[in-house]
Amino acid sequence: MRPQSVFALLPALAQGIRIIQSNDDGWAELYVRSFHDFLLAAGHDVVLSAPAENKSGTSSLDIEPFPRNSACQYNSCPPNSRSPIGRNDTSPRLNWVNSFPVTSMRYGIDTIGPQHWNGAAPELAVSGPNVGSNLWLSVPFSGTVGTAVYASKQAGIPAIAFSGASGGTLAWNTNPVPLRSTVYAELAGILVDKVVQAGKPYLPQDVWLNVNFPDVKEAEGKCVDVEQFKWVLSRINPAGILSGKDVSTCGADRLPTETDVVNEEDGGGCFISVSVGDSNDKTTASKEKQKVVLDKLAGLLTCLP
């Protein structure tokens, strides 16, 4: 098991970058906090801007934040703050926005992040890890996906949405930290570092990566260590009769769906789906853009059995 305190022992990256982070489960959800801690320990300049409470399933809704009267999620901010946005006084990198996930990402990109970075813009946007998967039919409705799509399309910032199949919401101060939270944080950090190390532009224009982790089955000792996981390039939606070809890899020109990837049990299971999403319609991006991502993730990706 990797306790959260181990993050502080990680070597810092030579290429730490400015990262804006959000989610749709709320700013005080444990998954997003574990990932935040991991990115900091890895040397990234990360700022969290997420909803004040759980706003799952709100897709791309975006309205101006309004004054908050009740306490934030898990009592993580006091009642009657009368403020539309707020932050953790002892850790100003942690910020809440009293509105929807996309709104929190927008404020993070336009206002909260630049205030921390002396006016500079974020270089990468990440969302999640979401509590629960975001696969195919759920993708258009996901606020986690919505934040990544907003960043990549409207703001022109490369973006990655992470989701983990192991469910169960957890407060930011849960102790001890469950293994699933630290495993997902480390896996997400591995992909971020791979993308960053591949160099700019980190991703093609108007795409985002939709990444889904399988269950962490601690009781079975399965998918409990990052070395057990394998990364597979996938597609979001099943291919139709009129669908164009995917990038050629693993001896085929049709990628597996992300659902098939995370449900694969052969070869030990523990497969992670990485789909290249089209920010214009939240479906699968073209083979040309898939090829760019395939090349950037060379050495990380593998094939299904």
Once rounded to an integer, what is the mean pLDDT over residues 155-170?
Answer: 97
Structure confidence at residue 9 (pLDDT): 42
Question: Would you state the pLDDT for residue 291?
Answer: 98
Q: What are the counts of helices (DSSP H) followed by strands (DSSP E) for the chain?
A: 7, 10
Indicate whether 114 pLDDT > 90.
yes
Average per-residue pLDDT for the chain? 94
In three-state secondary structure terms, 61 is: coil
pLDDT given for residue 242 in this prediction = 74
3-state secondary structure 234-295: EECCCCCCCCCCCCCECCECCCCEHHHHHHCCHHHCCEEEEEEEECCCCEECCHHHHHHHHH
CATH superfamily of 4-296: Survival protein SurE-like phosphatase/nucleotidase (3.40.1210.10)
Is 168's pLDDT higher than 80? yes
Query: Mean per-residue pLDDT for 162-189?
Result: 97
Q: Which pLDDT band, with edges at 50, 70 and 90, does 1 fall under?
A: very low
What pTM does this model have?
Answer: 0.95
Tens-digit pLDDT profile for residues 198-230? 999 999 999 999 999 999 999 999 999 999 999
Predicted confidence at residue 14, as pLDDT, reads 52
Report the distance separating Cα 226 and Cα 10, nearest Å: 15
Determine the pLDDT at residue 3: 38
Contact 88, 94 (CB under 8 A): yes
